[in-house]
Amino acid sequence: MFKNFICLEGIDGSGKSTQIAALENLFKSKGFEILRVREPGGTEISEAVRQILLDPAHKGKMSDITELLLYNAARSQLLHEVIRPALEKGVIVLADRFAYSTLAYQGYGRGLSIDMIKNLLNISCGDCFPGKTFILDIPVSLSRERQANDGTRKGKDRIEQEKNDFFERVRKGYQTIAREMENCFLLNAAASPDDIFKLLASHFDS
Ligand code: ADP
Ligand code: TYD
């Protein structure tokens, strides 16, 4: 576990990128060196895996286990090339998604065994775990609304094309993860960006 590793989680459109940008400004204003990453992706290999994972052409074809392994392949490469070297230099790493996305989406969403995924995460992540994870909790209907109104999004990727009941399971999964995992905090992401950020920033007062 690394104290300088901070992760934001939540269903698609919950506001992770918005809050990470604000956190980045906060830490930069205090003079810290920041590295921002988003999963899957962040290295040549991981971005190539991202293309495979999110391509709508693979809808209905990719098996749940293939999906599980590819997310973890992308993650392992990102850790090896980018995250671990930065953490070891003392850089603050802000991650838009990490291992709990796999527990929420492939575990609670797809219904794969949580214990099996935890074992796999030990392989793909080793001791490289965030010191704090914040889960942005938002109703699925509101996340859909935000995505529909977000002019920067071009079409729906393979995962975003899943039905609402999949995202309901993912959301409930995240709520369970927040209750069960250490150093994991659930935030009400239906609030305004400023109110969410106040809560988030209060975890770093000192
Ligand atoms: P994510 O990274 O989780 O997909 P984004 O930060 O990209 O989410 O936000 C998705 C959309 O919702 C964007 O258009 C963003 O401006 C908007 N948004 C983000 N946070 C809020 C909020 N707290 N209230 C209303 N709209 C928000
Ligand atoms: P992305 O566009 O980066 O996320 P967002 O829509 O929240 O901005 O898409 C990544 C997708 O991959 C997203 O739908 C969540 C999913 N995902 C998993 O299913 N498992 C994982 O382990 C990770 C990291 C992501």
Report which residue type is found at 94.
Answer: L
Query: Mean of the pLDDT values across residues 24-33?
Result: 96
The per-residue pLDDT of the chain, averaged, comes to: 96
Report yes or no: 47 and 41 within 8 Å, Cβ to Cβ. Answer: yes
Query: Mean of the pLDDT values across residues 153-164?
Result: 92
Assign 37 a pLDDT band (cuts: 50, 70, 90): very high
Which domains are delineated in the chain?
A: 2-202 (3.40.50.300)
Report which residue type is found at 5.
Answer: F
> Which residues line ligand 2 at a C-beta cut-off of 6 Å?
12, 16, 38-40, 71, 97, 101-102, 105-106, 159-160
> Relative to the alpha carbon of 187, which ligand is closest?
1
Assign 203 a pLDDT band (cuts: 50, 70, 90): very high
Q: Which residue's C-alpha comes closest to atom 17 of ligand 2?
A: 101
Query: In sequence order, what are the beta bridge partners of 38?
Result: 96
What is the tens place of the pLDDT at every residue in 70-79? Answer: 999 999 999 9
Give the residue with greater pLDDT, 206 vs 52: 52
Question: Which of 21-30, 105-114, 143-152 is the least confident region?
Answer: 143-152
The pLDDT score that the predictor gives to residue 1 is 84
With a 6 Å cutoff on the Cβ, whether 23 touches ligand 1 is no
Q: Which residue's C-alpha comes closest to atom 25 of ligand 1?
A: 192
Percent of all residues in the chain with a pLDDT value above 90, rounded to a whole number: 95
Among 11, 14, 18, the mutation site with the greatest number of ligand 1 atoms within 8 A of its Cβ is 18
Q: Which residue's C-alpha comes closest to atom 3 of ligand 2?
A: 39
Assign 11 a pLDDT band (cuts: 50, 70, 90): very high
Rounded Cα distance, 46 and 117, in Å: 19
Assign 154 a pLDDT band (cuts: 50, 70, 90): confident
Assign 187 a pLDDT band (cuts: 50, 70, 90): very high
Largest Cα–Cα distance of the chain, in whole Å? 50
- 132-66-107-53 Cα dihedral, nearest 10 degrees: 60
Q: Which residue's C-alpha comes closest to atom 24 of ligand 1?
A: 192
Report which residue type is found at 198.
Answer: K
With a 6 Å cutoff on the Cβ, whether 109 touches ligand 1 is no
Pick the atom of ligand 2 nearest to 10's CA: 7
The pLDDT score that the predictor gives to residue 77 is 98
**pLDDT of 64 strictly over 80:** yes
**pLDDT of 67 strictly over 90:** yes
Q: What pTM, to 2 d.p., does this model score?
A: 0.97
Assign 151 a pLDDT band (cuts: 50, 70, 90): confident
Query: Mean of the pLDDT values across residues 52-66?
Result: 97
